[in-house]
Amino acid sequence: MASKVRFNNLAEAERLAKRKLPRAVWLAVKAGNEQGWTLRENIQAFNELGFSPTIFDRPTSFDTKTTILGIDIDFPVVVSPVGAQAIHPDGEVGVARAAARAGTATGLSSWAADSVQDVVQANPNTIFQLYWVGTRDQIEKRVEAARAAGAKALIVTLDWSHTPRRDWGVPPSPPSRLDLATMVKLAPEALSRPVWFGNYLRRGRIPELKVPNLFGAGGQVPYFGAAWADFEATPPPTWDDVKWLRELWGGPFMVKGVNTIKDAKLCVDLGADAISLSNHGGNNIDGSPSPLRYLPSILDALNGQIDVMVDGGIRRGSDVVKALALGAKAVFAGRALLYGLAVGGEEGAYKALTILRDGIRETMYGIGRANIHDLDRADLMVLNSDFFVPPAA
């Protein structure tokens, strides 16, 4: 198993994942909309912030523990609820095990290829993420299934623009059913990477892309494509819908996809415990700035009323430290884990998490901080005058 994990940083993992995965699968992982401006911007924003290293009084131990949505974690990186992790037979269960081993929580998407029951069993600190698909009755049954499985918190994700166009190519639509004609159509992609496909066959599986957490009214498990058609046909939720969902769940609750002060304040009003600033990893409107850029202004506006997380562009531990120094409680990491998963399954995902964890500690050593809760904006240098960091309140 360890021999499959041959990367020392996440840039290497990304290159290896691209070589390992069929082209259509890689395009789905890389994603982004239109020209990919936001996809690149999510990384560029981190590159416009630097540090002031110190040489005296450097720490010899580090406290990276924190709490998010009532869950204690060993370091401030939570697995982002990325859908359809059937890019490796280990899937979401493997990533959940990796997160548990690393001492952190895992977010599980409604679009996951593994069920919430199986993922909670792999990592009791599982946060279930809900998309607004179908009727309130269907949504209520899915929420209750997550509760019964033991999910610790609920996320509702609202940042999706249904913009499928990409300048560098769009993968084929996931199947609505897996009949003979569909298998014949998909066969060239699978056979283009025989090692990847053989890994599935050795486990007695195929990447069929069912989504068990989006079960229908009769309990049937749809294929991804059929569930996606339901998603596109479902009217987007109103503020009242999300308030109803928050009251239905009753436990720790997060709204993911916030981009403005106005929306952040509305989340406070409906009783959310936390929000995540996000442009869906570059998959919302292309041209949306990185959430890192407006993190300070939203934090100042909320004045500590709820916890604020951020996602998009996390590729190294120093990125995490930058987000925390700006005031984020923790970050979500998505593609970083997918790259590791693609390369080495559970072990690859665990390696990705350890790279992030070690990078956090190394950065803290360099800037003379022993505790993540002591990080603040004074630890950062703005390298580009267009990146405005307002003073702390």
Distance CA 73, CA 68 (A): 8
- The answer on whether 379 is annotated among ligand-binding residues is no
| Highest-pLDDT range among 87-91, 173-177, 370-374 | 370-374
Reported confidence tier of residue 384, pLDDT bands at 50, 70, 90:
low
The residue among 76 and 386 whose pLDDT is bigger is 76
> According to the model, what pLDDT value does residue 178 have?
61
- The answer on whether 314 is annotated among ligand-binding residues is yes
- The answer on whether 294 is annotated among ligand-binding residues is no
**Does 391 score more than 50 pLDDT?**
no
Tell me if 126 sits within 8 A of 105, measured CB to CB.
yes
156-174: b (≥16 Cβ within 10 Å) or e: bbbbeeeeeebeeeebeeb
User: Is residue 392 assigned to a domain?
Assistant: no
> According to the model, what pLDDT value does residue 346 have?
97
> According to the model, what pLDDT value does residue 390 have?
46
The residue among 193 and 64 whose pLDDT is bigger is 64
**Does 79 score more than 70 pLDDT?**
yes
Reported confidence tier of residue 385, pLDDT bands at 50, 70, 90:
low
- The answer on whether 157 is annotated among ligand-binding residues is yes
> According to the model, what pLDDT value does residue 182 have?
59
Active site residues: 280
> According to the model, what pLDDT value does residue 10 have?
97
User: Is residue 387 assigned to a domain?
Assistant: no
Distance CA 271, CA 254 (A): 9
> According to the model, what pLDDT value does residue 304 have?
95
Reported confidence tier of residue 40, pLDDT bands at 50, 70, 90:
very high
User: Is residue 393 assigned to a domain?
Assistant: no
User: Is residue 391 assigned to a domain?
Assistant: no
Kindly report which listed range (91-100, 328-337, 377-386) carries the lowest average pLDDT score: 377-386
Average pLDDT of span 324-347: 97
pLDDT in tens, 198-255: 888 888 777 778 999 999 988 999 998 899 999 999 999 999 999 999 999 999 999 9
Residues linked to residue 266 through DSSP beta bridges, in sequence order = none
pLDDT in tens, 166-206: 898 887 777 666 655 656 566 777 778 888 888 888 887 77
- The answer on whether 205 is annotated among ligand-binding residues is no
How much is the mean pLDDT over the chain?
A: 91
**Does 393 score more than 50 pLDDT?**
no
Average pLDDT of span 360-386: 91
- Output the domain CATH number for residue 254: 3.20.20.70
Reported confidence tier of residue 105, pLDDT bands at 50, 70, 90:
very high
The residue among 113 and 194 whose pLDDT is bigger is 113
- The answer on whether 150 is annotated among ligand-binding residues is no
Tally of domains in the chain: 1
Maximum distance among all Cα pairs of the chain, rounded to whole angstroms:
67
User: Is residue 243 assigned to a domain?
Assistant: yes
3-state SS of 196-263?
HHHHHHHCCCCCCCECHHHCCCCCCCCEHHHHHHHHHHCCCCCHHHHHHHHHHHCCCEEEEEECCHHH
Tell me which residue has tokens 């359809």: 84
User: Is residue 74 assigned to a domain?
Assistant: yes
Average pLDDT of span 99-107: 98
User: Is residue 58 assigned to a domain?
Assistant: yes
Tell me if 161 sits within 8 A of 33, measured CB to CB.
yes
pLDDT in tens, 137-171: 999 999 999 999 999 999 999 988 777 788 988 87
Please give the model's pTM, rounded to 2 decimal places: 0.93
Angle between helices 317-326 and 291-302 (to 10 degrees): 30
- For residue 11, give its domain range: 2-382
Average pLDDT of span 44-59: 93
> According to the model, what pLDDT value does residue 387 have?
53
**Does 292 score more than 60 pLDDT?**
yes
Kindly report which listed range (208-222, 306-320, 349-363) carries the lowest average pLDDT score: 208-222
Structure tokens at 181: 């004609």
